[in-house]
Structure 1
């Protein structure tokens, strides 16, 4: 069954995440939510949002809708005989399997409900695009930039999903205005381009994309939900350990911690923590975007490892994802580090990989980070 689409502004979608369903004005006015088939979406886009390139497409799985969908005529001016799907009820956020940036004339990539890798990549791209201060078109994808957080490589990089040559990646990354050239390569077979860039002196890292269902729940105790400010001290201490010796360390750490509040402006964020004697010693974050959730920034203070805190954080994240109606929970982990083995033992399967490539650094401390909040260090 082909997906159905709904085009909206990112802020409208964020409000729907908080409410659990999208209820546009048309629902009260005409009794239905306007949807489109993939080949039709350009028509409401041109009529309602002419020239806009900051919108999102909600990819709806019709099988997850409880209310009826009827094919009916559109509005005057639409091609003769064209019929649009109309949903006679609110659009549940749990029926949205992906949220995809709509940047015509580029064709959006619409993952299927059963495509765990496609949904994970859509969430990563969409989050970066929606929170970016600026998005620029480049060959094969986009460049995201945010001058407020120049030390965050995650916020200043290329994200590429169409195959391009290594020379094209290098040229685009150099010419996009990034503080330091870096890119994420997400297409199948990007390992060859990554190897070519490694031969040119670029730093290359393979990142595994892992996924599992939100259920069944993991056994054991659960972490508590906290205000994000409660975990700032843990994040800051971790960055200071990891980046000891970096020039301008105070500014770098301030940017890496300070950027995190922006995620909750575009997806539903829950911060989870474990305390010992009132102090946060382990934490993690769940980001919910429709029926897909991502586990991020799982970290345990070194002195508190070996006590099951990582399990408590992950169990609480899966509980929260299930309660939000998510059927898929995803994460990313470095292929050459141990955390992915820990996640595999807890039901996460590797569904694909991406490649992070970074140009040789002109000086220590130019741009230091590529992950959110803190690295996956959840294990113990």
Structure 2
């Protein structure tokens, strides 16, 4: 695999155009790439200890322009050759986007490993969206003081093999430092099952989640009943859904719902977001969100108003999302489903396979 360092804003802009065209392409005629063993050299030279830089994981088989191995810049080892791409870098050749944190090993997903790509997307979106990011042993702490009731934005991402005691200690410290309303951790390591079981025995609320994936080809035509809308058009529909789900919540429901809806606009700053809806009599009765991040896309927030169910709206939304992912050059669409709830079987009947598992652990 080949790697390219980039600032998140530049990557987000590239998702709209379909290509990465850094200044070097116009100035020198090529895009600088690196191997995993080389990437620390340009990273140190260009970005130092910054925590907001990401690494694009490029599948060379998806490149159409030539790659030539040439010397680097003065100061690089004289015998070392770097891969230079003589043409723009297609976003559809990027199979993963991972945070660059100096001194931390890179978790680089293989193009054929759907589980690793789903895991990389989950970590990457959370870290790029975070107002505050802090590496800790075995994981990362993400925080967003503006939305304290959003556990998606205030949690420990456990990516390494650590014990239940370590997870509890890390999460307690992070919750205290950031004044979280609850301790929250997402266990993303593939072998974290026993850790999740131990946390449950210690009194944590643990919810297993399966990562599901479907590969291309995707539907060639979208259903006519689905339309893409500005995200504000979905806000009230989301708010109604949250009010039903969180009835009786403490603290006040209105405060929690406002934060859960208000947080969502930030996702489009780091990945390409399309909000899809179905209307009846002009009113939104079903919605879904597609998030495109290079060659990998995620489907999220598939919801139907209880009064409008069993009319095929969810099927139409999923088909439209898959169609758009294919048009964007994605070869893989992923989603998360509760391991013990019926939507898992619904997605399986529509071509999604279980490729991985994670656990959400919360302690008040």
TM-score in same-fold range (> 0.5): yes
Give the alignment partner of residue 308 of structure 1, picking from 305, 312, 316. 312
Instruction: Tell me if structure 1 keeps the 8 A contact 2:222–2:320.
Output: no
Give the one of 199, 203, 214 matched to 1:201. Answer: 203
1:153 alignment partner, one of 139, 142, 151: 151
Partner residue in 2 for 1:352: 356
Contact 1:61 1:97 in 2 (8 A): yes
* Aligned residue in 2 for 1:274: 278
Tell me, in whole angstroms, the C-alpha distance in 2 between the residues paired with 1:97 and 1:279.
37
Cross-structure match for 1:182: 184
Q: Map residues 103-182 of structure 1 onto 2, 5 A cutoff.
A: 103-176=101-174, 177-178=177-178, 179=180, 180-182=182-184
- Which runs of 4 or more aligned residues in structure 1 lie more than 4 Å from their structure 2 counterparts after TM superposition? none
CA contact (8 A) 1:218 1:315 kept: no
- Check 1:24–1:220 CA distance in 2 against 1; reply closer, same or farther (3 A cut): closer
Structure 1: tracts of 5 or more residues without a match: 362-380
Which residue in 2 is equivalent to 1:80?
78
Preserved contact between residue 214 and residue 321 of structure 1 (Cα < 8 Å):
no
For residue 215 of structure 1, report the CA deviation from its aligned partner: 2.1
Query: Deviation at 1:51?
Result: 2.0
Q: Deviations over 1:185-233 (max 9, x none)?
A: 1112211000111110001111000000242318883411111111111
Q: Equivalent residues in 2 for 1:261-340 (5 A)? A: 261-340=265-344
Separation (CA, whole Å) in 1 of partners of 2:114 and 2:89: 22
Specify the alignment match of 1:254 in structure 2.
258
Return the alpha-carbon distance in structure 2 between the equivalents of residues 48 and 336 of structure 1. Answer: 46
Separation in structure 1 between the aligned mates of residue 221 and residue 86 of structure 2, nearest angstrom: 40
Contact 2:229 2:277 in 1 (8 A): yes
Question: Partners in 2 of 1:6 and 1:221 — Cα distance?
Answer: 37
In the alignment of these two chains, the number of paired residues is 358
Per-residue deviation at 1:175? 0.2
Residues 1:27 and 2:31 aligned together: no
> Structure 2: how far apart are the matches of 1:83 and 1:151?
49
Equivalent-residue separation in structure 2 for 1:302 and 1:288 (angstroms): 28
What CA RMSD, in Å, does the superposition of the two structures yield over aligned residues?
1.1
Indicate if the aligned counterparts of 1:206 and 1:334 stay in contact, CA closer than 8 A: yes
Comparing 199-208 and 238-247, the one that deviates more: 238-247
Q: In the alignment, is residue 91 of structure 1 matched against residue 60 of structure 2? A: no
State TM-score, norm by structure 1.
Answer: 0.93
Q: 133-142 or 86-95: which moved more?
A: 133-142
Question: Counterpart of 2:146 in 1: which secondary structure?
Answer: helix
Call closer, same or farther: CA 1:183–1:218 in 2, change over 3 Å: farther
- Which segment drifts farther, 43-52 or 264-273? 43-52
Distance in 2, Cα, partners of 1:327 & 1:139 = 33
Instruction: Give the distance between the partners of 1:51 and 1:333, measured in 2 at CA.
Output: 36
After superposition, the C-alpha distances for 1:99-124 in whole angstroms (9 at most, x for unaligned) are: 00001111110010001000001011
CA contact (8 A) 1:215 1:318 kept: no
- Deviation of residue 91 (structure 1)? 0.2
SS in 1 for 2:102: coil
Report if aligned partners of 2:4, 2:56 keep a CA contact under 8 Å in 1.
Answer: yes
**In structure 2, distance between residues paired with 1:151 and 1:100:** 26
Counterpart-to-counterpart distance in 2, 1:115 and 1:245:
42
CA displacement at 1:53 relative to structure 2: 2.0
8 Å CA contact retained: 2:221, 2:323: no
Of 189, 209, 212, the match for 1:210: 212
- Kept after mapping to 2: 8 A contact 1:296/1:331: yes
The alpha-carbon distance between structure 1 residues 314 and 119, as it changes in their structure 2 partners (threshold 3 A), is same
Gaps of 5+ in 2: none
* 1:230 and 2:233 are equivalent in the alignment: yes
Following superposition, the deviation at residue 59 of structure 1 comes to: 0.1
